[in-house]
């Protein structure tokens, strides 16, 4: 065999594995890309679906007395807003832990109800017409400064005071100075709080319905479906629930199905802040 032929044969033997490897690697990459294509397409479809899926901003009211309430809320594994009554045993802890959980944190501002005797408590004071102007100022300042990480306020009770336009203007001006969102809990059908908040040019909204105002399984399930239907009609809504056993049990059971119909968001995301 001539020397030149031997050189050609040697080059062929060296290059053949390299060419084979590159060819195989290209086929492997193509196979890898093709195999990942369905998951990529599904991700794009899911993101597209989320853009148009009705949205519910769920607020959990009446927090502050128990860390276990927050644990139950966290176990639902959905974005929510936690509204904390100021000055209770775990109010500040719940606010800070809630923020770390990715929740929006609200101050649940105690305003005087129509039936003061029925809802009288030693745990906190209601702001209302029974107090002097000085007492109202002092208490309001304390409440609004109590949870500094809060991004908003919604009223706790307040069926009396949210019907009083002049009183609400005073409260809302203080909320606006703090740069906070306001949500009218609508504890009274005659509430003017949302209307006044709009006029004061606050970032504001209102409660479309209490999920668990009647604390039994059938009533909560029925109300949940009504609120889901309303979200589908309006595109997005705000609703309120409370840390109750029936509420947690029903949500845990229903959420896998519900999340195919609606998306849960925080109040921060509701207002796209």
Task: Give 245's contacts (C-beta < 8 A, 6+ positions apart).
Answer: none
Contact between residue 62 and residue 85 where contact means Cβ atoms under 8 Å apart = yes
Residue with tokens 């802040």: 273
Give pLDDT, residue 242.
99
Gap between the Cα atoms of 193 and 178, Å rounded: 17
Contact between residue 147 and residue 91 where contact means Cβ atoms under 8 Å apart = yes
Radius of gyration for the chain, computed over Cα atoms and rounded to the nearest angstrom: 29
DSSP state of 234: H
Pair of tokens at residue 257: 């199905």
Give pLDDT, residue 226.
99
Contact between residue 268 and residue 236 where contact means Cβ atoms under 8 Å apart = no
**pTM passes above 0.85:** no
Gap between the Cα atoms of 83 and 153, Å rounded: 8
Q: Are strands 204-206 and 152-157 parallel, antiparallel or unpaired?
A: unpaired
Gap between the Cα atoms of 29 and 27, Å rounded: 5
List per-residue pLDDT tens for the chain, 273 residues long: 555 556 555 555 665 555 555 555 566 555 555 565 566 455 545 555 567 899 999 999 999 999 999 999 999 999 999 999 999 999 999 999 999 999 999 999 999 999 988 888 999 999 999 999 999 999 999 999 999 999 999 999 999 999 999 999 999 999 999 999 999 999 999 999 999 999 999 999 999 999 999 999 999 999 999 999 999 999 999 999 999 999 999 999 999 999 999 999 999 999 999
Find the helix packing angle between 217-234 and 245-258, rounded to 10°.
40
Gap between the Cα atoms of 84 and 201, Å rounded: 24
Distances (CA, A) of 92 to 67, 121, 128, 273: 11, 20, 24, 23
Gap between the Cα atoms of 270 and 272, Å rounded: 5
Residue with tokens 């989320």: 50
Give pLDDT, residue 116.
82
Gap between the Cα atoms of 79 and 263, Å rounded: 9
């Amino acid at each position: 065999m001539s020397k030149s032929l031997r050189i050609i044969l040697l080059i062929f033997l060296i290059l053949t594995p390299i060419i084979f490897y590159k060819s195989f690697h290209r086929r492997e990459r193509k196979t890898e890309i093709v195999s990942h294509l369905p998951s990529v397409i599904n991700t794009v479809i899911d993101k597209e679906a989320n853009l148009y899926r009705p949205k519910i901003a769920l607020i959990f009211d009446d927090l502050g007395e128990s860390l276990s309430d927050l644990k139950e809320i966290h176990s639902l594994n959905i974005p929510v807003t936690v509204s904390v009554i100021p000055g209770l045993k775990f109010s500040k802890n719940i606010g800070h832990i809630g923020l770390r959980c990715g929740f929006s944190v609200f101050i649940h501002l105690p305003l005087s109800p129509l039936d003061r005797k029925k809802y009288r408590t030693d745990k906190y004071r209601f702001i209302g017409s029974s107090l002097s102007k000085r007492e109202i100022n002092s208490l309001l300042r304390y409440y609004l400064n109590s949870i500094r990480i809060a991004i908003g306020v919604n009223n706790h009770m307040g069926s009396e005071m949210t019907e009083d336009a002049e009183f609400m203007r005073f409260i809302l001006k203080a909320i606006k100075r703090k740069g906070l969102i306001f949500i009218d809990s609508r504890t009274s059908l005659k509430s003017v709080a949302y209307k006044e908040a709009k006029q004061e040019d606050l970032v504001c909204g209102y409660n479309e319905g209490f999920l668990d105002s009647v604390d039994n399984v059938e009533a909560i399930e029925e109300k949940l479906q009504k609120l889901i239907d309303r979200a589908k009609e309006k595109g997005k809504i705000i609703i309120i629930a409370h840390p109750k056993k029936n509420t947690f049990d029903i949500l845990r059971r229903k959420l896998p199905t519900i999340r195919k119909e609606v998306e849960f968001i925080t109040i921060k995301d509701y207002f796209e802040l």
